[in-house]
Amino acid sequence: MGYKIIVDSSANLQVLPGPAEFASVPLKIIAGDREFVDDRDLDVEQMVESLRTYKGKSGTACPGVADWLEAFGDAEGILCITITSNLSGSWNAARLAKEDYESQYPDRQVFVIDTLSTGGEMQLLARKAQELLGTGIAFGDVCRHTEAYLQKTGLMFSLESLRNLANNGRVSPVTAKLAGVLGIRVVGKASDRGTLEPTDKCRGERKALQTLLSRMKEQGYQGGRMVIDHCMNETAALQLKGLVTQDFPNADIAVGQTRGLCSFYAEQGGMIIGYEKG
């Protein structure tokens, strides 16, 4: 049987070793007549730089049904892991692709998980799915266990600017005003509904990092897996890793860079953290 795990590019994941084939379906970032496809060839730093100086309207586009179908290839068991359906149409497109594919190939199966989240939490799920597949359990059970794992994972963020989120209607103007003052970071989490829920307004990076860690501990973090993705802010990401490691020397922490979609919304200096609640 050919199995395939597919995320959209908001997961910040381009390769994932394991028994199943893996693919990332790109979202797009659009600024005037420029279009950035969020695939492995995208030069993220150059995109962030050119957006910084671009004064016009900019936005994003989710993958369409055809993009998901193309990623399905001819796999017989497919697991799609998408960004929150409350902020993007990616999940809906994947669901429609599933209907299409299953009616075309009645003996094949497509599962679609709405993570109500993004970034590192999606990475944790994809990794879990590969591991479960390796145990030899049935594919349907792999997908169900992976979805259940969402109860044990969470997502936090620290943002210096919410401008692109507000300009594209992903947070309210009131929420966006929390940030925008030099040196202020908005720390928050993915809500149960899959929206941004600011929890703290922090003065300075140090305070933001301490707040992130204490909020994660409050949610049940005990030194399990953590994925820290940053937008051109490796210093802070490594500092956070250091702080976490002081409390939990055996924590399994991966530090990486946000790809195109998350870089557009998290903006320079931003961090997105997926973690295990216990």
Q: Residues interacting with ligand X90, by CB under 6 A?
A: 27, 60-62, 84, 87-90, 117-118, 155, 157, 170, 190, 194-196, 262, 265-266, 272
Give least dist CB 136 to ligand X90, A: 33
Q: What residue type is 268 in one-letter code?
A: Q
Q: Using the minimum distance from each CB to ligand X90, give the nearer residue, 84 or 130.
A: 84
Give least dist CB 61 to ligand X90, A: 5
Q: Using the minimum distance from each CB to ligand X90, give the nearer residue, 29 or 133.
A: 29
Give least dist CB 147 to ligand X90, A: 17
- Distance CA(128)–CA(147), nearest Å, equals 10
Q: Using the minimum distance from each CB to ligand X90, give the nearer residue, 130 or 258.
A: 258
Q: Using the minimum distance from each CB to ligand X90, give the nearer residue, 133 or 227.
A: 227
- Distance CA(181)–CA(257), nearest Å, equals 24
Give least dist CB 193 to ligand X90, A: 9
Catalogue the E-assigned strands of the chain: 3-8, 21-25, 28-31, 34-37, 58-61, 77-82, 109-114, 153-159, 184-190, 196-203, 225-230, 252-257, 271-276
Q: Kindly provide the b/e burial profile for residues 253-262, where b requires at least 16 CB atoms within 10 angstroms of the residue's own CB.
A: beebbbbbbb
